[in-house]
Amino acid sequence: MTAQTNQSWAASRLPCLASLCACLNARTMAPGGSYFAAFPFLIAVLAAFLSLSGIVLAVFYNPWHAFASVQFINRDVNQGWLIRTYHATGTTLIFALAYLHLFRSILIRAYRAPAEFSWLMSVKLLLVLLLTGWLGFVLTGGAAGHLSLVNAANAALSLGGLPGAVGLWFLGGPAGQGTLARLEVFHALLGISLLLVVWAYFASRKAAAQVEPAKAVAFYPYYLAQYFAALAVLAFIFVLLGFYAPGVSGVAANHIPAGGLALPLGAGVPWYLAPAAGLLGVFPTAKLAVAAAIVAVVLLYALPWLDRSGPDGAKGKVYCFFTWVLALDVLGLGLAAAGVLPFSPVLAVLFTGWFFFHFLVLTPVVTAMEAK
């Protein structure tokens, strides 16, 4: 077969091709993997897709006239509106998948040894996404994004100490015109670095996988077919959202340019930032909010060690129940931040409290109890 000779011709001159083929054909993967296990792959595809559409946007984006340049992309660049749809809808989907992936990892306790590193990378993925997403939201130059930027800059100014210094280094002082120029660069770098994070996740997941060799299957063709099907479903959802609900990824107030006299009340943040905004929003001072954010991040990272059940502790019903409650809690934080719940401010405090309670108290206690 010529194809085969060609392949060995290329492979002998570029040995990594041979190892790639070997890798795709090696029987190392679990038989009958769930579609949920394909989420990190979908996240990787979306990260690449967002980088690509982001490069095109960066060609036309102008941080000194942010709002006008976004309008220009929408109105005057060929397919510009479609590229923006790509970028916005891709953002919504990558966040949705990241949240679901984290939820499932907690639910099935995918963080346990020896897969701690995969968990650390999953958390890192969400954190990088949150920062990148926030920057993208600010870059639009809309009134809502600008308000959020001004709040962040004011927080950094009032913080003092190391966190304040870091914040001011990041933002380059109070929110001014040049701020967006540096944020554009950070946005792009962080966005592209997502690919690295996903790669580290895959590498560590592979190392940690424990598959019975007799039952293992190869990536090709089994997982290729599954990932392809997962991509098709993703594309379908993408089209539904992107073409018929283009507003889901943004906030209405961002249609108004920043710097108008009237800052819109209740400008809000996009849905994917809402849980974080809800959590930070309950703290009266910037210092407390930063401390809370640090604690929340540390708790998430520490989950493999907060779980006291040991390496082969059985999955308990109570643990599952509280994981679902945690999901509702995060959802509630987002809704409270959007102000759609009655008594939102009070509920936000309750939900925030529960979030910390879940990791600090419930996780160790419940896992220890159920391990017996």
Partner 1 sequence: MAEPTASHAPGESRRDFLTILAAATGAVAAGAILWPVVDALNPDQAAEGTGQLIVNVSDIAENTAKTVQWGGLPVTIRRLSAADIAANQDELVVPSTLPAPADFASRVNAGYPSFVVVVGLNTATPCALEGDSPSEPRGDYNGWVCPCDGSQYDPLGRVRKGPAKRNLAIPRYTFINPSQIRLG
Partner 2 sequence: MRRVFALTAILTILGIANAHAEDTLSPLHFQSQGPLGTIDKAAAQRGYEVYKSVCAGCHSLGKVHYRDLEALGLTPAQAAGEALAAGGTLNSPIKGAAPLNMGGAIPPDLSSIAAQRPGGPNYIYNYLTGFGPAPAGVTLLPGHNYNAAFPGGQTAMPDVLHDGAVTYQDGVQPTKAQEAADVAEFLAWAADPNLDARHQIGFRAIIFFAFLTIIAVASKRKVWRTQA
Q: Which does 243 bind (CB under 5 to 8 A by kind): partner 1, partner 2, none?
A: partner 2
Q: Which does 240 bind (CB under 5 to 8 A by kind): partner 1, partner 2, none?
A: partner 2
Give the max Cα distance, the chain: 72
Q: Which region among 171-179, 220-228, 289-297, 351-359 touches partner 2 (by CB under 8 A)? A: 220-228
Q: Which does 174 bind (CB under 5 to 8 A by kind): partner 1, partner 2, none?
A: none
239 binds partner 2 (CB under 8 A): yes
Q: Which does 91 bind (CB under 5 to 8 A by kind): partner 1, partner 2, none?
A: none
User: What residue has token string 């809502």?
Assistant: 144
Helix (H, G, I), strand (E, B) or coil at 218: strand
Residue 216 or 289 having the CB closest to partner 1: 216
Q: Which does 145 bind (CB under 5 to 8 A by kind): partner 1, partner 2, none?
A: none
**Torsions phi, psi for 347 (to 5 deg):** -60, -40
Using CB atoms within 10 A of its CB, is residue 90 exposed (0-12), middle (13-18) or buried (19+)?
buried
Q: Which does 56 bind (CB under 5 to 8 A by kind): partner 1, partner 2, none?
A: partner 1
Helix (H, G, I), strand (E, B) or coil at 257: strand
Q: Which region among 73-81, 89-97, 107-115, 151-159 touches partner 2 (by CB under 8 A)? A: 73-81
User: What residue has token string 């800052």?
Assistant: 263
Residue 29 or 362 having the CB closest to partner 2: 29
Degrees to nearest 5, angle at CA 95 with 331 and 189: 135
Which residue, 118, 149, 116, is CA-closest to 134? Answer: 149
* Distance separating alpha carbons of residues 360 and 320, to the nearest angstrom: 16
Q: Which does 32 bind (CB under 5 to 8 A by kind): partner 2, partner 1, none?
A: partner 2
Binding mask 23-42 for partner 2 (x = CB under 8 A): --------xx----------
* Distance separating alpha carbons of residues 22 and 49, to the nearest angstrom: 27
Total residues contacting partner 2 (rule CB under 8 A)?
30
* Distance separating alpha carbons of residues 147 and 137, to the nearest angstrom: 11
344 binds partner 2 (CB under 8 A): no
266 binds partner 2 (CB under 8 A): no
**Torsions phi, psi for 168 (to 5 deg):** -70, -35
Q: Which region among 188-196, 248-256, 308-316, 364-372 touches partner 2 (by CB under 8 A)? A: 248-256
* Distance separating alpha carbons of residues 178 and 64, to the nearest angstrom: 7
243 binds partner 2 (CB under 8 A): yes
Q: Which region among 74-82, 158-166, 202-210, 285-293 touches partner 2 (by CB under 8 A)? A: 74-82
* Distance separating alpha carbons of residues 183 and 187, to the nearest angstrom: 6
Q: Which helix (H) or strand (E) holds 217?
A: strand 217-218
* Distance separating alpha carbons of residues 20 and 155, to the nearest angstrom: 48
Give the footprint of partner 2 on this chain (CB under 8 A): 31-32, 71, 74-75, 81-82, 85, 217, 221-222, 225-226, 228-229, 231-233, 235-236, 238-240, 242-244, 246, 252, 255-256
